[in-house]
Every structure is written in structure tokens, then in C-alpha cells.
């Protein structure tokens, strides 16, 4: 436990991290109920020529009410391990993201998926009717647990603006109202969105970490 506490610290290269490597292809378990997110990271792993297989496990886990999604994701990862939803030595990751709208004091933020379900894109557009300041930020956090209660997080952010109307049919959630470079995320292909999106950035950091750790990996 003390050792785990020490390893938990953010940043700092970790020499002794071990991953389950099945044959030549590395397997990573992604726990999420969102198929879109699975498609996004698989597409990215392919583009990066990463020899990684993303396994998808659809299992529900609770999130605590907190405005800091990094804290939420880290807590959830520990909960998943604690409740034995995966094996003690089984590496897995989750991803949490939020839309933070400047004129709404960061709403819906950590509660984005709940708010989307309840009031949708129409609700957000209504709240911003007549509001000039359309600045918004998407943030994504990947929480990766290689084993035990060790959790490492990878953050990705993209700044954009809330469109004045719903546009596009790709993606999911608030994608049709989030504009970046003149197009909404829902007007982009998975690859185009991955190249600039919060989640694409977090996933790339995460995959690069995995690849470099694997190449440096010590065999006990």
C-alpha cells in the first residue's frame, strides 16, 4: 500500500510499470458505455501504427459529484479496482470529458453527460440565446490504472465556440454545437475530429506513454 502510494504521484517516469502483453499485440481494456469513444481510440491507435488492441468492457461504475473531472476519473478508476470489476493485475482505462462554457461559468462541465441527456443541444443553445460570448472548452481525462490502485491521468483540451445552431450528424453529445475552425465536431470524420479534439489529444498522450513504457519495460 505504501509502495502504491509512492507510485501514484503524477508525472515522473515510472520504470517498473508492467502491462499484460498478449503475444505480439498489446491489449488494453477500455471501460466505457460509449461506443463512439471506443471507435475514436481504435481509429487513433491505427493511425499511430500502434500495435495495441483496445478491448471494450461495458460496465457501469459510479462517478462522484465534483467539478474537477480529473478527480472524478481518478476516483472512478480506484472504485472500479476496489469493487473488483476487473482483476487486481489487469490494466484498464476509463475516459471522462466535459464541455465548459465560458458565459455559463463552466456549465455543464463535469455534469455534461447528465445535462446532455436532460436538455440536449437545444437546451444549451437556448441558454446562450442572445449571449455574445460563445467561448467554450472541451476537456478530456484518461485515467489509466496499470494495476492495483496506481492511477495515471492524461489530459487533453480544445478551445472552440458554441455554434448558433445545431450542425452535422457525426460524433455524439455536444459535438453538433461545438465549433472548431469553422466546423462543428459533428461535421468532421472520426479522424478529423481526433486530430484536434480534447479526446484525441488525451488519447494520443496516453498511447504514446503506453508505447514508450512498453519499449522501456523491464522484464523481472
- Please give the Cα distance from 70 to 155 (Å, whole number): 8
Nearer to its own copies (CB atom), residue 53 or residue 63 = 63
Minimum separation from the CB atom of position 86 to its own copies (A): 20
Through-space distance between the first and last CA atoms of the chain, rounded to whole angstroms: 20
Nearer to its own copies (CB atom), residue 127 or residue 155 = 127
Strands 92-101 and 178-180: unpaired
Minimum separation from the CB atom of position 123 to its own copies (A): 6
Nearer to its own copies (CB atom), residue 67 or residue 159 = 67
Nearer to its own copies (CB atom), residue 107 or residue 172 = 107
Cell of 38: 471506443
Q: Which residues here bind its own copies, judged by CB under 8 A?
A: 62-67, 104-109, 111, 114-115, 117-119, 123, 126-127, 129
Question: Rounded to 5 degrees, what angle do the CA atoms 56, 60, 63 make?
Answer: 115
Query: Is 96 a known active-site residue?
Result: yes
Minimum separation from the CB atom of position 165 to its own copies (A): 17
CB of 31 closer than 8 Å to CB of 61 = yes
- Please give the Cα distance from 18 to 5 (Å, whole number): 17
> How far, in whole angstroms, is CA 28 from its chain's centroid?
14
Considering 68, 96, 133, 175, which one is annotated as catalytic?
Answer: 96
- Please give the Cα distance from 165 to 61 (Å, whole number): 33
Minimum separation from the CB atom of position 110 to its own copies (A): 8
Active site residues: 96
Amino acid at each position: 500500500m505504501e509502495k502504491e502510494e509512492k507510485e501514484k504521484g503524477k508525472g515522473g517516469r515510472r520504470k517498473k510499470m508492467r502491462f499484460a502483453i498478449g503475444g505480439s499485440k498489446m491489449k488494453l481494456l477500455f471501460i466505457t458505455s460509449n461506443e463512439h469513444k471506443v471507435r475514436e481510440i481504435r481509429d487513433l491507435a491505427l493511425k499511430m501504427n500502434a500495435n495495441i488492441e483496445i478491448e471494450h468492457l461495458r460496465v457501469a461504475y459510479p462517478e462522484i459529484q465534483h467539478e474537477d473531472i480529473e478527480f472524478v476519473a481518478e476516483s472512478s478508476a480506484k472504485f472500479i479496482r476496489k469493487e473488483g470489476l476487473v482483476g487486481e493485475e489487469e490494466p484498464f482505462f476509463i475516459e471522462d470529458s466535459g464541455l465548459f462554457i465560458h458565459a455559463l461559468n463552466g456549465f455543464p462541465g463535469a455534469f455534461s453527460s447528465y445535462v446532455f441527456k436532460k436538455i440536449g443541444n437545444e437546451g444549451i443553445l437556448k441558454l446562450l440565446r442572445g449571449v455574445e460570448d460563445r467561448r467554450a472548452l472541451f476537456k478530456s481525462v484518461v485515467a489509466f490504472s496499470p494495476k492495483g490502485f496506481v492511477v495515471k491521468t492524461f489530459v487533453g483540451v480544445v478551445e472552440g465556440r458554441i455554434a448558433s445552431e445545431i450542425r452535422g450528424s457525426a460524433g455524439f453529445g455536444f459535438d453538433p454545437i461545438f465549433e472548431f475552425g469553422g466546423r462543428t465536431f459533428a461535421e468532421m470524420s472520426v479522424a478529423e475530429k481526433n486530430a484536434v479534439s480534447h479526446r484525441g489529444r488525451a488519447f494520443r498522450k496516453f498511447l504514446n506513454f503506453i508505447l514508450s513504457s512498453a519499449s522501456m519495460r523491464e522484464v523481472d
